[in-house]
Structure 1
Amino acid sequence: MIQRIQTVFLFLIVVAMGVALANPIWEKTGPISTEIAQLTALQYSQQQSAGAQAGVPQSQVPTTVITSVWYLGLLLALVALSSLYAIFQYRNRLTQTALCAVNALMLTAIMGIVLYRTLYAGKEYGNPADQGNFLLGFYAIIAALLFNALANRFIRRDEKLVRGSDRLR
């Protein structure tokens, strides 16, 4: 039935993916307060001072380099859609388990992409010793990993309960 606890966890995955899509994931400031690097679900942007040009102070000539990371947003949306689909597969717990396994793989790929972008690609920006700040979007992805594990656990527990009751008949 749709009112089981795993449905709540699957819905929370959808909410967490919406939060990760809507909020920045990571941010790092440079030595000057106007220099900033930021990772969102769709882009990685670096705003740097270009240097003094024609008597304009350095802090007033920012250049922004934007790199598209659309695949990160696509993976976040796919996790949300597969979790939403899994909610309505309550009659087939094996399908729900398979969808949770696929979600776990996609969430692992998302974490790999985020950590690569922040810890390796972001290291070249600003102070290499500073790793930057993880923001709400990052913690939403971690929450989705936790909710996925809990949903999978409760789906397997329901399946075990149903198989145990079938043996008694």
Structure 2
Amino acid sequence: MIQRLQTLFLALATLLNLSAYFTPIYEKAMDDPQQWIGLGLAISLMIAMVSNVVSIFLYKNRRNQIVWIKYSALFQVIGFGFCTGVLFSLGGIGTYLWDEALGTGLVFLGLIFQILAIRFVRKDEELVRSMDRIR
């Protein structure tokens, strides 16, 4: 389980989502007068983290693992949308908003790692199918 590369990608995506909670973009989202923006960001990142961890332990059923990672990527995109919305509501990417852009970049990097995990799970599935054909 640990030696598979997609496990590393999913763990990194989970850690990046967790680190997004400690960036100024999360603080700005929670300080918004409309509470649904901050709560939407928090909930979408939390669901993405939990489904990443669940999909790590589904290594025996690769098709089910791909489905879980896709759902996680969906919530990751929603979280990235919230981060981007908060960033642009602050005035876009300027000289004084690099910390907020960093938080948004962490969420986007987590999405990239999830896409890489899907790719490597599919490669494992193709390898297993090719080995079954050889037998």
Q: Which residue of 2 aligns with 1:122?
A: 90
1:146 to 102, 112, 118: 112
Percent sequence identity over aligned pairs = 31
Bigger RCO of structures 1 and 2 (CA < 8 A, at least 6 apart): 2
Structure 1 residue 10 displacement after superposition: 0.6
Q: Which has the higher strand share?
A: 1
The TM-score with structure 2 as length reference comes to: 0.85
Q: Rg larger in 1 or in 2?
A: 1
Is 1:163 aligned to residue 129 of structure 2? Answer: yes
1:89-126 deviation line (CA, Å, top 9, x unaligned): 0001111111111122111111222222222x334xxx
Q: Which has the higher helix share?
A: 2
Question: RMSD value over aligned CA atoms?
Answer: 2.2
Alignment of 1:64-103 (within 5 A): 66-68=33-35, 69-103=38-72
Question: How many equivalent residue pairs?
Answer: 131
Instruction: Provide the secondary structure at the position in 2 that maps to 1:22.
Output: coil
The code of the aligned residue for 1:109 comes to I
Structure 2: state its 5+ residue gaps: none
Contact 1:25 1:134 in 2 (8 A): no
Whole-angstrom CA distance in 2 between matches of 1:103 and 1:158: 20
The TM-score with structure 1 as length reference comes to: 0.69
Structure 1: state its 5+ residue gaps: 27-37, 46-65
Of stretches 13-22 and 108-117 in structure 1, the one that deviates more from structure 2 is 108-117
